[in-house]
Amino acid sequence: MTNHDPERRRLLISTATLAVLPLAAATTTAQGSRPIDQQEESEPNAWPGGPDDVSITPAIIAAAERLAGIKFTPEEQATIAGTIGEQMAIFAARVNAGAMPNGLAPATVFRAMPPDRALDPVTSTGNPEMVVANPGSLPDDEAAIAFSTVADLCTWMRRGELTSERLTRIYLDRIERIDPKLECMITVTGDRAIEQARRADSERKQGRDRGPLQGIPYGAKDILDVADVRATWGATPFKDRVGSTTATVIEKLDEAGAVMLGKTSVGALAYGDIWFGGRTNNPWNLKQGSSGSSAGSASGTVGGLMAFGLGTETLGSIISPAMVCGATGLRPTFGRVSRAGAMSLCWSLDKIGPICRSVNDTALVLAAINGLDPRDASSVGVPFAHDASQGVKGLRVGWNPAWFDGANPADRAAIEHLRDAGCELVEVDLPDLPYESLLIPLYAEAAAAFESLTRSGDDDSMVWQSPQAWPNTFRRSWFIPAIELVQADRVRRQVMDAMARIMDTVDALATPAFAANLLLITNATGHPTLVQPIVFDEGRPHGFTLIGRLFDEGTICRLGRELERRCDVATQHPVL
């Protein structure tokens, strides 16, 4: 038998359960033309092992001990071997019941707010407002229009100088000409976009103003479903998948009058910048990948192919491509934005947020997609407070000099900008904890979400097959002991408590990107993060990171706008 043989896959995986927590969630594989998230297993999975199965020997238990990191006596091994079939039969019954859809979340729901903390009133009062500014007259140059901010585009449309249809056609033309260089689009929905644009223009003429996103064209990461539109998850096994429902964030943007240009490229199953059609490229350096997994949304926004993009993040998938491409990305607090209709990778970590060309634009998009949704078990109903007129004087900003050792000089300059703006800089320390343990829930949940992909062997068709790619990660995650997953969750609680104590003393944290495990920590705790370009070093963008209190995106937007003003990089765009 070969590695592609499904029966061999089932045998290998069933043996692995000796040292594994089999999580109850899975996707299905494509069969015929039905959407992949509605497929069912064509036949039950064979599962060796049961109450009467004597094939599990003490020697197998002894071998499994090395994977689990524990040691038993020979007598204990014999007893385990004689009784292990009972729990294997439980596993088998669950598998034979049929695969579950990707969007079915576990019963245990993660909440970012620790139980002994209450929401600060400052995070839920006030209404998000657009920065009032006069962008001048509409430029004659269509490229200048394409690279303009959402706020400026909105102003020109409200003044009657620009129509949504013209703007949409500008972007569709740029997609046709430039996307072959960037490879940032998987599916272009041109007819749908023109129809939405004409509706936005008609409503504006009739006096109906849906808000600052009315008529604004955007790209949606291709793990977000739109009914009857391909949603491929960037992966070969799902490249013909078609959405049967529409994601809540898309519905909210439809209600806001925004125009969806199409589906942006995503690293296969939300990892990296390699997808079944190629590699998404950095607009500043076409020989370099854009990073990912919100690869196309960052590349397309920075390249002037859309006004903004929707990204998702589990561990860096908004922050990293925004850093590499020079975009401004806002990863909201976990639970603030509904994930209903999005591919699930890790139910306790996944988040959806905007990738834009300015800090203010991220706030405008977040205001539109924020809100409670009963379709998402982790959704919370906390209003988004953002007062664009507020300054930053008196805000307490936490930092640690060690985070800046060896960093780009622009990072230290950013700290001085905040000091000069009247912020009080407060040194903070992270406790010594086993932060790497926070990766274990991600590995286990992701392997569970794509159990059927691993069992079927269809993971072999994915383009990226290196040891660090998903196929191997899913396979090795079957050997995570159940005990270790629970212990990792307890470490997560320790980290949440530690971050709560730190954030009790400051209004935000300021840090170079990826310093001190903060990307891993804040994704696990659910804290919001803003990343923005602060310098272009020989044409290479370099970004800075601001971390906010839970549900307090408004404060980091205030700080981000101040940095944006002082660094003055907003007018720099790649030449494609």
Q: For residue 318, what is the domain's CATH number?
A: 3.90.1300.10
Range scoring the smallest mean pLDDT among 68-72, 127-131, 330-334, 514-518: 127-131
Domain that holds residue 75: 6-101+438-479
Distance CA 502, CA 433 (A): 14
* Residue among 366, 169, 327, 178 nearest 259 (CA): 169
Q: What is the identity of the amino acid at 550? A: L
Digit-coded pLDDT (tens) for 284-332? 999 999 999 999 999 999 999 999 999 999 999 999 999 999 999 999 9
Do 445 and 529 lie in one domain? The reply is no
**Separation between Cα atoms, residue 44 and residue 46, nearest integer Å:** 6
Amino acid at 86: E
pLDDT of amino acid 388? 82
Residues 155 and 241 in one domain: yes
Is the model's pLDDT at 37 over the cut of 80?
A: no
- Looking at the predicted structure, is the pLDDT value of residue 7 above 60? no
C-alpha 259/C-alpha 526 separation (Å) is 29
Which token pair is 474? 């899913």
| Three-class SS of 465-502 | CCCCCHHHHHHHHCCCCHHHHHHHHHHHHHHHHHHHHH
Answer for the pair 497, 388: CB distance below 8 angstroms, yes or no: no
Mean pLDDT confidence for 103-107 = 91
366 located within any domain? yes
Is 75 part of any domain? yes
Q: Is-contact 174 283, C-beta < 8 A?
A: no
Element (H, E) at 532: strand 529-537
Closest CA to 293 of 358, 346, 250: 346
Segment holding 217, helix H or strand E = strand 217-221
Tally of domains in the chain: 2
Q: Does residue 143 fall inside a structural domain? A: yes
Tokens 């394409």 label which residue?
146
Count of CB atoms situated within 10 Å of the CB of 55: 11
Residue of 401, 404, 390, 405 lying closest to 427 (CA atoms): 401
**CA separation for the pair 198, 201 (Å, rounded):** 5
d(CA 575, CA 573): 7
Identify the CA nearest to 171 among candidates 298, 305, 300: 305
Asked if residue 551 lies in contact with residue 336, where contact means CB atoms within 8 angstroms, the answer is yes
- DSSP tag of 309: E
Identify the weakest region by mean pLDDT among 39-53, 106-120, 245-259, 282-296: 39-53
Q: In degrees rounded to 5, what are phi and psi of residue 261?
A: -80, -25
Residue 41 within a domain: yes
Query: Same domain for 77 and 23?
Result: yes
pLDDT, residue 158, reads: 96
* 225 and 303 housed in the same domain: yes
Q: Do the beta carbons of residue 339 and residue 363 sit within 8 Å?
A: no
Return mean pLDDT, the chain.
89
User: Is 376 in contact with 110 (CB distance < 8 Å)?
Assistant: no
Does the annotation count 317 as an active-site position?
yes
Say whether both 514 and 538 belong to one domain: yes
Amino acid in the structure at residue 46: A
Closest by CA position to 198, among listed 163, 250, 146, 150: 163
Q: Which of 148, 293, 320, 348 is catalytic?
A: 293
Cα–Cα distance, 434 to 216 (Å, whole number): 44
The pLDDT, as a whole number, for residue 202 is 98
Q: Are residues 79 and 146 in the same domain?
A: no
CB of 304 closer than 8 Å to CB of 215:
no
Query: Is the same domain home to 239 and 155?
Result: yes
Which among 406, 397, 452, 394 has a CA at the least distance from the CA of 427?
A: 397
52: pLDDT strictly greater than 90: no
pLDDT of residue 345: 98
Same domain, 97 and 187: no
| 382 C-beta neighbours (distance < 10 Å), count | 18
Catalytic residue among 317, 344, 456, 477: 317
Distance (Å, rounded) from C-alpha 131 to C-alpha 554?
13
Q: Using alpha carbons, select from 343, 311, 258 the residue that is nearest to residue 531.
A: 311
Closest CA to 145 of 165, 182, 171: 171
355 plus 329 within the same structural domain: yes
Range from 178-187, 431-440, 532-541 carrying the lowest mean pLDDT: 532-541
Whether 239 is catalytic: no
Q: Are 66 and 171 in a shared domain? A: no
Q: Give per-residue pLDDT as tens, 422-432.
A: 999 999 999 99
Written as six digits, the tokens of 478 are 């079957």
User: In which band, very low, low, confident or very high, does the pLDDT at 122 lie, cut at 50, 70 and 90?
Assistant: low
Judge whether 496 lies within some domain: no
Give catalytic status of residue 124 as yes or no.
Answer: no
pLDDT of 516 > 80? The answer is yes
Asked if residue 128 is part of any domain, the answer here is: no
Burial class of residue 58, CB neighbours in 10 A (0-12, 13-18, 19+): middle
| Residue in 148, 221, 263, 477 annotated catalytic | 221
Query: Quick one: average pLDDT of 342-364?
Result: 97
Residue 146 identity: A
Same domain flag for 424 and 445: no
d(CA 351, CA 329): 12
Question: Looking at the predicted structure, is the pLDDT value of residue 191 above 60?
Answer: yes
Give pTM, 2 decimals.
Answer: 0.89
Residue 408: inside a domain, yes or no? yes
Is-contact 247 375, C-beta < 8 A?
Answer: no
Mean predicted confidence (pLDDT) in 68-83:
92
493 part of a folded domain: no
Q: Are residues 187 and 319 in the same domain?
A: yes
